[in-house]
Amino acid sequence: RQAKYQGILDANPGIALVRGRAQFKAPTVLEVRRDDGEVQEIRADRVLIAAGASPAVPPIPGLQGTPFWSSTEALVAEAIPQHLIVLGGSVVGLELGQAFARLGARVTVLELLDRLLPIEDEDISLGLREALEAEGTEVHTGFKSESVNYRNGRFQIVGNGKTFSGDRLLVATGRRPNTA
101 conformational bin, left if phi > 0, alpha if psi -120 to 50, beta if neither: alpha
For residue 154, what pLDDT is reported?
98
pLDDT in tens, 4-21: 778 888 889 998 888 899
Taking the CB of residue 44, how many other CB atoms lie within 10 A of it? 10
Other beta carbons within 10 angstroms of residue 127's beta carbon come to 13
Model pLDDT for residues 161-179, shown as the tens digit of each residue: 999 999 999 999 999 988 8
Residues 85-96: tens digit of each pLDDT: 999 999 999 999
Structure confidence by residue, pLDDT tens digits, 27-54: 999 999 998 999 999 999 988 888 888 8
- pLDDT at position 47 is 87
Taking CB atoms within 8 Å and a gap of at least 24, the contacts of 126-129 are: 128/94
- The residues, ordered by sequence, that sit 6+ positions from 20 with a Cβ below 8 Å of its Cβ are 32, 33, 34, 35, 40
For residue 31, what pLDDT is reported?
96
Residue, of 150 and 55, whose pLDDT is higher:
150
Q: What is the pLDDT of residues 58-82, one digit of tens each?
A: 999 999 999 999 999 999 999 999 9
Could you give the CA distance from residue 142 to residue 107 in angstroms, rounded to a whole number? 17
120: number of Cβ within 10 Å? 13
Percent of the chain with pLDDT over 70: 98
How long, in residues, is the chain? Answer: 180
Report the SS3 class of residue 20: strand
Show the DSSP H helices in the chain as ranges.
2-11, 71-75, 91-102, 122-134
63 in Cβ contact with 149 (< 8 Å): no
